[in-house]
């Protein structure tokens, strides 16, 4: 029966429940979004890719009862989250790909009344490659078309990706 088969999902669930991430980014909001916060964790998998888990609080739709909004979610070139986050640079894009095929283009976050949780598997980068870069949350959804970055609006949250102990 299919329920007894070991699939990547079973292994991913085990990682999330019992293993420490190999890297993490503490997200903080900008001056206009001081309550935005969260944690993005990066786990090494046995499948040659990275399992990413994000839990974010205080997204802009927090005060709208029953609301759901999408927020663009990217890895940016630099880990400098000072000021308005502009020093984080552009999307992490080691292959010079068109948007949305940059290694730093991540699935959007779905914020439900200010809270988002997401987990996904990605083989476009390794943990070692993203240490010292940043995770950025944008005010709007990514349109997955506009060049060079999907027209996601202002950066509202940022966290430097650091190796965990």
Separation of alpha carbons 133 and 60, rounded Å: 24
How many independent structural domains does the chain possess? 1
Per-residue pLDDT reduced to its tens digit, 55-112: 999 999 888 888 899 999 999 999 999 999 999 999 999 999 999 999 999 999 999 9
At 100 the three-state DSSP class reads: coil
User: Domain containing 62 — which CATH number?
Assistant: 2.60.40.200
Separation of alpha carbons 100 and 96, rounded Å: 11
- Which domain covers residue 81, as residue numbers? 2-163
What Å distances lie between residue 132 and 46, 161, 163, CA to CA? 23, 5, 8
At 101 the three-state DSSP class reads: coil
Separation of alpha carbons 106 and 102, rounded Å: 9
Per-residue pLDDT reduced to its tens digit, 22-64: 999 999 999 999 999 999 999 999 999 999 999 999 999 888 8
Q: Helix/strand/coil (H, E, C) string of 37-73?
A: EEEEEEEECCCCCEEEEEEEECCHHHHCCCCEEEECE
């Amino acid at each position: 029966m299919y329920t007894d088969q070991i699939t990547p999902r079973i292994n991913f669930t085990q990682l999330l429940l019992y293993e420490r991430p190999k890297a993490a980014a503490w997200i903080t909001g900008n001056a206009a979004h001081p309550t935005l916060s969260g944690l993005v964790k990066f786990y090494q998998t046995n499948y040659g890719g990275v399992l990413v888990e994000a839990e974010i609080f205080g997204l802009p739709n927090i005060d709208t009862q029953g609301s759901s909004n999408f927020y663009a979610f990217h890895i940016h070139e630099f880990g400098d989250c000072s000021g308005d986050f502009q020093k984080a640079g552009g999307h992490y894009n080691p292959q010079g790909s068109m948007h949305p095929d940059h290694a730093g283009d991540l699935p959007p976050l779905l914020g439900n009344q200010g809270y988002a949780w997401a987990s996904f598997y990605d083989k476009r980068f390794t943990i070692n490659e993203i240490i010292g870069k940043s995770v950025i949350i944008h005010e709007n959804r990514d349109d997955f078309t506009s060049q060079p970055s999907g027209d996601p609006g202002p950066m509202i949250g940022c966290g430097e990706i650091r190796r965990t102990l």
